[in-house]
Structure 1
Amino acid sequence: MTETTALIVAHGQPSDPDPAEAALTRFAARVAASAPGLTVHSATLAAPGRLEAALESLPETVPIYPLFMARGWFVTSALPRRLGPRGNPILDPLGIDPDLPALIAAHLSTELEQRGWPVAESGLVLAAHGSGRSRNPSAVARGFAENLRAHLPVARLSVGFVEEAPSITEAASGHGAMSLCLPFFACAGGHANEDVPQALEQAGYAGALLPVLGDLPPVPALIARRISEAGR
């Protein structure tokens, strides 16, 4: 059996880093359990010194999996800066994985089936972060939505953002009770736990709110596969 080690890095919660750090540790354990011979360490960027402490015991051949939805500033600038001269390879983030749309579409199809909602009569709201400074995060979310719809032809699919237009409230307005809202976030946090529900309430949204994408059941196995591929 081939032994593979990796480090999963997420943003974390700067205002209260410990709960997010603990949640990432639990998530890393789920990833490790998804493939034989896989050891997964974890660290958030927000917990002071946590990334550096994790790296101390790991060789530079260990790949880093960024638990982010886009290859944005944190993945391309903040994380490499924290690595310094180390040469650990940084894998592609979760949100741009080419297999993600089909995988999530299959899960959402099951969600709809369990509720007795026909796909062709159901709606989907994709609640994403967006950015007031870069178009990259919203482009990733919209691209994901387009690919998702190719696998899941719902009656209506809307995309809304926390930090740019259209807002999540605007996107969710008019969606009926047979609708799912999927927060397009890698980890639960303030936006997913507070901003998204508040926006849905303002919209009078009567559908179901799902966990963040990163917490959906099929995701740990996908990440384990990517890490195992990188370790070959």
Structure 2
Amino acid sequence: MQALAARVRMWLPGWEVRGTTLALPGALEGAVKGMPDALIYPFFMAEGWFTRSQLPKRLRAAGIDQPLQLPAFGHDPGMEGLLRDVATEAAHELGLPDDASLILAAHGSQVSPASSQITEEMAQMLRRDTGFKVTTGYVEQEPFLEDVARQTKGPAFCLPFFATRAGHVSEDLPQALKAAGFTGPLLPAIGEHPDCARLIANTLLRHRQRAAA
């Protein structure tokens, strides 16, 4: 997260940009110390429990009474364009046809529909704006990735709708695809794409400009 913050800072000269995590005790509190008016950009794929409940609660406990919290990364206004460009460019570089099958892999949840809702919205956009045969597969809910991959025929590739490669992208996704006999390429997590820093910077800048206006 600190490395991502450094890349975002390159697009925002003069800004102070810090990266932190909820998982490390005291990290969030240390990051926001002395920044009572900071914009909070949640690097999460969905607007779920962490962004709607846990993060605001932790911010208030850290002394930020009314957090200026933006929508989660997966809901960023630039996400549609990023996904579309990444999928199209990857298919071209891999020599895949314009109508190749694309599996959009995501976390999912047995408890909350937040992850699947934003994933299905992005899949629908890809069907509308590209020629790919787009399906969705999840780690923790139906339709499970392994089942979707097993049913996918012809030239195909898989794009992880995840913020980072940790855990699910580095282990669960490859295992599911291998078990399904899926031989298509597995792309890096969308959150690892180099253009993410610029996407985040643009969103932060637009928010500040609207606030100033």
Pair in the same fold by TM > 0.5: yes
1:148-187 matched pairs, under 5 angstroms = 148-154=126-132, 156-176=133-153, 178-187=155-164
> What's the Cα RMSD here?
1.5
**Residue matched to 2:171:** 194
- Pairing 1:104–2:83 present: yes
Distance 2:81 2:29 in 1: 35
Helix, strand or coil for the counterpart of 1:119?
A: coil
Letter of the 1:128 partner, please give it. Answer: A
* Between structures 1 and 2, the one with greater strand share: 1
What does residue 7 of structure 1 align with?
Answer: none
Instruction: Give the Cα separation in 2 of the matches to 1:89 and 1:29.
Output: 21
Compute the displacement of 1:214 (Å). Answer: 0.5
Q: Determine if contact 2:145/2:176 at 8 Å carries over to the other structure.
A: yes
% identity of equivalent residues:
38
| Residues paired across the two proteins, number | 206
CA distance in 1, matches of 2:105, 2:4: 22
Moved over 6 A (4+): none
Give the Å deviation of 1:99: 2.9
What residue ranges of structure 2 are gaps of 5+ in the alignment? none
SS at match of 1:226: helix
Alignment partner for residue 70 of structure 2, among 79, 91, 97?
A: 91
- Which of 79, 83, 87 matches 2:55? 79
Q: Which runs of 5+ in 1 are unaligned?
A: 1-23
Amino acid across the alignment from 2:103: V
**2:163 alignment partner, SS class:** coil
1:123 equivalent in structure 2? 101
TM-score normalised to the size of structure 1?
0.84
User: What is the SS of the residue equivalent to 2:69?
Assistant: coil
Q: Which amino acid aligns with 1:129?
A: H
Name the SS of the counterpart of 1:30 in structure 2.
helix
Secondary structure (helix, strand or coil) at the match of 1:74 reads helix
Supply the distance in 2 between the matched residues of 1:229 and 1:119 (Cα, whole angstroms): 34
Aligned equivalents of 2:129, 2:182: Cα separation in 1: 24
**Conserved 8 A contact 1:124-1:181:** yes
Task: Read off the aligned partner of 1:105 and give its amino acid letter.
Answer: R
- Aligned-pair distance for 1:176? 4.4
1:62 maps to which residue? 38
